[in-house]
Every structure is written in C-alpha cells, then in structure tokens.
Structure 1
Amino acid sequence: MVTIYDIAQHANVSAMTVSKVINNTGRISEQTRKRVKKVMEELNYIPNSNARSLVLQQTKILSLLITDITNPFYTSLARGAEDTAKRLGYRLLFGNSDEDYLKEQDYVDMVLSTRVDGVLFAPAGDQSLKNLEKLMAHKIPFVILDRAVPGIESDIVAGDSKEGARKLVDYLIELGHSRIALVNGSLEVSTARLRYQGYAESLKLQGIELDHELIIQKSYRDYKDGEYLNQLLSNPSPPTAIFAANNFLAVGVIRALRERGIRVPEDMSVVCFDDLDLSSALDPFLTVASQPAYLFGAMGMQLLVERIQGNSTPDIRKIILPSDLIIRSSAQALTSEYV
C-alpha cells in the first residue's frame, strides 16, 4: 500500500509537505503542490479518510434523515441533497424513519457514533424535539427540511403548506363545491397543521361553514385503510370533493372510492398536496399543489455546508418555497344534481 512517505520520496519533499497537500493546509508553493499531486496520481495513492478526519476534525460525511423514502416527494428531495453534497465534496448517509420517533432516535444515535459533520433532518413530528436537542447537545450542525418543530430554532427549508392548501380548496370552490372533506395527517406534524389552517381559512373566506364531520386525521403513511370513507359517505350531507393532505393519502382515497364503486371525478372530485412519481406523468390524473422537492434537498444541503464551513450568517435562515397548482382531471365542476 502506498504511504505518504512513498509520495515524499518520489516527489523529493518531506512527509509533512505531502500531508499539507493532502489536507490542503499550510503554505506550499504551487509548483511543489502540483509535483506532489502528480506523484500521487502516478502511484494511485488514495488518502486515508480516517486519518484526514483526525487532522481536519471533519469526516466530509453528512447524514440525510427523511420520514419516508418510498414517497416520491422525499425521493426527489434526497436526489437534490445527494447531488449538491457531491458537488460540494461531501458524501451522504441516508436514514429513513418511517414517521417513527423511536426509529428516528436510533438514526440520531448512529449519526453521533459515525462522527458526521452535519445532518439534513426531516422530522417525524413535534416529538422529534428530543432527537434534535441531542444533536444540539453534541454540537452537530443541522438544517431542518419540510417540517418545523416547536422549540427548535434552526436553519430550515420548508414549503408554504397553508397557501398551497388554500389554492387547492379555492379551486374546488370555484368548481362549485362547498361540501369539501379533508383527509389529513396527524396534527403533531407541522405541515398537517398548516394544511388544515389553509383549508379552514379558504372555507371561511368564501362564507362556507367548517364541518368537523368532514375532517379525518390520520398518519401520512396510513393510506391503505379506507374505512374512514364510511364516516364521510354516511354523513347526512356527504362531501362532493375531497382534499387529501399528501400524495399517499390521495392514492388511498381514490383506491377506497373505487372499491365502493365511486368514480373520480364523475362522482367525487379529489385533489391533493404533492405530486406522484414519474409513472403518473404517462397518464397525468391528479390535480395537485406540487412542491419543488429537489430544491428542498439542494438548498438544505447548501445551507448545511455553509453552516459547517462557517460561511453563513449567525442569524437563523428560513427559506419558504411556494407550491404550484397543477390542474388535471381528478376534479370537475359540480353538476346541478348535487347543488
């Protein structure tokens, strides 16, 4: 195995000079630096990352912890984070909490034992406070993605969930719907709270009374059980449209409707927050409030690296990304028979 002493001998410099070239430290002439690097290439030398981390107090390894890798939103977010990390000279470790605080805690413990330089963190919910406080106690820089956590002040890249929800509900109201159900995530998650607020505000501004019987709260991942539809459909005045607070919930809604012989959009209009995966582009169907998921990861990673390298303002940075209303065929104007 080639060592720095072999490099030093071939380049006719000291081992200390080779070390400075590898770690990009100290004052070395450009001519000497080029000569050492040329010898490193000729001898196929690969620096020992563990040794470098001891010298620089950095591992050049970052962690991305998300809540559901199967969700297309987080898949695209992860791609943005990985591409940016690679461009900035970092490697990325992935973790998936499955919206589970205890699993999230296990990943945080792994992060601490791995000695990563920083963490991009999409919290499972409000209870993630303890896990984030553990990172703070160990002075691990982090940037929060998508979901805010009460009690934590940090750099964050999030979407405008309230405004996106209002766009969707306003659109349904424009189509003539006033009985609009909300199938939402747990209110222990900030995005679910904001989407509920946007839904409620849109109804209020249009003079439509909020009916709590038309609101379902569940986990964002709990989309396979469609029994909640029985509650909505058995209402004396059932909904004519459903707003699903994320893409997985929308898939569950449509599946449950079809199992009951209810057509979308002919019998029930459906809209949702976040788009589906690329396969849906072959036959675009759902009307959605689409978020720039790739940018969440890319911008979050940029903020994290700037924080690690000390190139950022000491002030907390908060980036809110807007959503785009994409109108497709899953919602239609209410016919006279429903009015």
Structure 2
Amino acid sequence: MVISLSTIYDIAKRAGVSPATVSRALNNQNIVKEETRKKIHKIAEEMNYSPNFLARSLVKKQTNTLALIISDITNPFFTTVARGVEDYASQRGFNTIFCNTDENVEKEKLYVNLMLQRRVDGIIIASCGSGNNLGDIKNRNLPLVLVDRTFSVNNGWDSVVGDSEEGAYLLTKHLIEVHHHKKIAVISGPPVLSTSQDRVRGYLRALREYHIQENSEWIISGEFKENFGYQMASKFLQYSGVKPTAVFAGNNFIAIGIIRAAREMGIEIPGDLALVTFDDLEMASYTCPFLTVAKQPAYTMGSMATEFLLQRISGEKIREKRIVVLQPEIIIRKSCGCIP
C-alpha cells in the first residue's frame, strides 16, 4: 500500500480555507477559531499529512535540534548525562543528536563540522581535547555549553561540571585518615583533560595535607579506559621494590582494569590493596555493592547543561558566562577496607 503525503494546499482545498489558515491551525495559533482548528487537524490526520520540518526550519532559522558530543557512550556516567540532556530537551520540543568520539580528537573535529552542517541550534560537549576543535562554533556564534570538562580558556561558554578536585581529595583523605595508608598511587586519564588534572590535584592536596611524600612513579596519567587501568596496575603491582597499598582510580573503567589485574596476580581487594574511584557503576552497585566512589550527579549535569543551552538559543539576555560546579557524593563501600 502506497501512502502519498498531502500538502497544506490539499488540506486547504478540502477544508475550504486558505493555505495560510491551515498553516496557522497546524501551528496552533490562537487567531484560528477553535472549531476551524479542530476541523483542519482532523482532515490533516485523515490525509496522512506530515509537516516538512526542513522547510519550517528554513523559515524559522531554527531546527529544534541539539547536538550532544561525548567521549564514551559506553561509560554509565556519560549514559546518564545523555539521559538528562535528552529528557530536558524533549520535554521542550527539541530533538537531540548523540555523537560519540571515543576520546578521539579527530573524531570530535569531524562531529563538530558535521553538526554545523546539520545546522543544529546548539551543542553540548564533553570535549576530549584542549578546545582547538571548537573555533568554528565560536566564529559562528553558535550556543555551546561545556559539560563535565572545561578548558583553561573557555571563550565565555557556560559550563556544568563536577568538583573533581574535591572528590579526589575526599577519597584520598579517607584512605589516609580512616585506613592509615601512606603508599597511595593514582591512575588517571589524559593529562590534557581538566577532569584528569583536577583529580590528580585533589589527590596531591590530600597527600600534602598529611605530609606524605609524593612518589612520581605512582602518579600515572593516560586514558580513562579499562585496559589502561589494567596495564598500569599490572606494572606497578609487579614492582620488586616498595608497592602501593592503595590506589585512587580516575574513573570507573580504570577501577575495573585495576580489579582485573589484581585478581590475575592473586592480590585481594581490599585485603592486600585498597581501591577508591570516581563515578559509580549503577547496576553493579545494586547487585554487588563493592566500590567506594565519588558519585557525580550526572543526570543533573546533563539537564542543567541543556537548560543553559536552551536559554542561550532563545536569546535570553545573559551577559556573563555561568560556571556551575556540582559536588560529588562520597559513597563508602568495601573496596577501601570499610564494612558499611
């Protein structure tokens, strides 16, 4: 069965009104009488009318479409951020295009260019680089909000992030103050990222506060990935000399890699090695609560970033850039040595 799509001219002819009246009725404008509006909507439904959103966007110069560019959609943290973005946007009549960069700067550049070609109304991004890919967005004056990650110079963009430094400080402090660890390693993500920098900075702040000597071999930056955590943990756990008694993992994937390396080497967590990390693993926390974490309000992060973006798109007069830093929740479980 072939269904032909009708135009507003077909509907106008059948309803006995002008095409302009049909357009106003379908856009629910108050100047059309209620009886006429209902009649037109009924006819449109009967005739399988489908609005031409591309044409509408050209007239309004707005596509009602946002782009969310994130670094790893498989990470439950970013999945939850994405849900917050999509929920808030859809409730306000906006669609969301999801782009996953896999922490690849070239892929991020490709997506930025593609979204500009798609004429999205605004972009929310958790960038995997230093911001060099975003020049065209700035030049076109396209609304953009940074989420989770910022830059040293952010060109006046709004940002919604978690307090990575404070979360790292509190986790490391817990290992020192409650469990009396002095040999603590940190495995974090790419050194170019603000989240990686802040988490190492929080870790160091706790060590210095308790006058614990830093060991440069135990301060490791690289990737927010499971395999990186596995490789780095395998390396320092095989040291013939002094080994760390505790590890702060920069994110949940790194923590999983550390657990895998420890199990292969017969090292028990937390008996032989204490472990704390950033970001929770929701499903695992329900079925087998184990990891002590700094849990970020990921959903709130996503919805608030979308709220800021839609305010910019609507033309609200907001002169100053807004920087929101959300506090993490420290959840104590077994991996640090506590028995909740």
Contact 1:182 1:244 in 2 (8 A): yes
Matches within 5 A, 1:41-120: 41-120=45-124
The equivalent residue for 2:301 is: 296
Residues 312/158 of structure 1: CA separation in 2 closer, same or farther (3 Å cut): farther
| CA shift digits 1:9-34 (9 cap, x unpaired) | 34433212222344567955556545
The equivalent residue for 1:155 is: 158
TM-score, normalisation: structure 2: 0.91
**Bigger shift: residues 38-47 or 169-178:** 38-47
Residues 224/197 of structure 1: CA separation in 2 closer, same or farther (3 Å cut): closer
Q: Which amino acid aligns with 2:169?
A: R
Contact 1:233 1:239 in 2 (8 A): no
Asked if residue 170 in structure 1 is aligned to residue 210 in structure 2, the reply is no
In the alignment, the residues of structure 2 paired with residue 204 and residue 235 of structure 1 have an alpha-carbon distance, to the nearest angstrom, of 26
In the alignment, the residues of structure 2 paired with residue 25 and residue 52 of structure 1 have an alpha-carbon distance, to the nearest angstrom, of 15
The equivalent residue for 1:136 is: 138
Contact 2:101 2:107 in 1 (8 A): yes
Q: Which amino acid aligns with 2:159?
A: I
Query: What's the CA shift for 1:39?
Result: 3.7
Query: What's the CA shift for 1:160?
Result: 0.4
Matches within 5 A, 1:188-267: 188-221=192-225, 223-224=227-228, 226-229=230-233, 230-231=235-236, 233-234=238-239, 236-267=241-272
In the alignment, the residues of structure 2 paired with residue 312 and residue 259 of structure 1 have an alpha-carbon distance, to the nearest angstrom, of 57
In the alignment, the residues of structure 2 paired with residue 39 and residue 139 of structure 1 have an alpha-carbon distance, to the nearest angstrom, of 41
Contact 1:23 1:52 in 2 (8 A): no
TM-score, normalisation: structure 1: 0.91
Query: What's the CA shift for 1:74?
Result: 0.6
Aligned residues, how many? 331
| CA shift digits 1:158-193 (9 cap, x unpaired) | 000011111101110121111111111121000011
Q: Which amino acid aligns with 2:232?
A: Y
In the alignment, the residues of structure 2 paired with residue 114 and residue 214 of structure 1 have an alpha-carbon distance, to the nearest angstrom, of 45
Q: Which amino acid aligns with 1:275?
A: D
Contact 2:290 2:334 in 1 (8 A): yes
In the alignment, the residues of structure 2 paired with residue 235 and residue 259 of structure 1 have an alpha-carbon distance, to the nearest angstrom, of 17
Aligned with 1:180 (options 184, 189, 195):
184
Q: Which amino acid aligns with 2:319?
A: P
The equivalent residue for 1:146 is: 148
Q: RMSD of the alignment, in Å?
A: 2.0
Contact 1:214 1:232 in 2 (8 A): no
SS at match of 1:288: strand
**Bigger shift: residues 284-293 or 36-45:** 36-45
**Bigger shift: residues 76-85 or 159-168:** 76-85
**Percent same amino acid at aligned positions?**
43
Residues 210/312 of structure 1: CA separation in 2 closer, same or farther (3 Å cut): farther
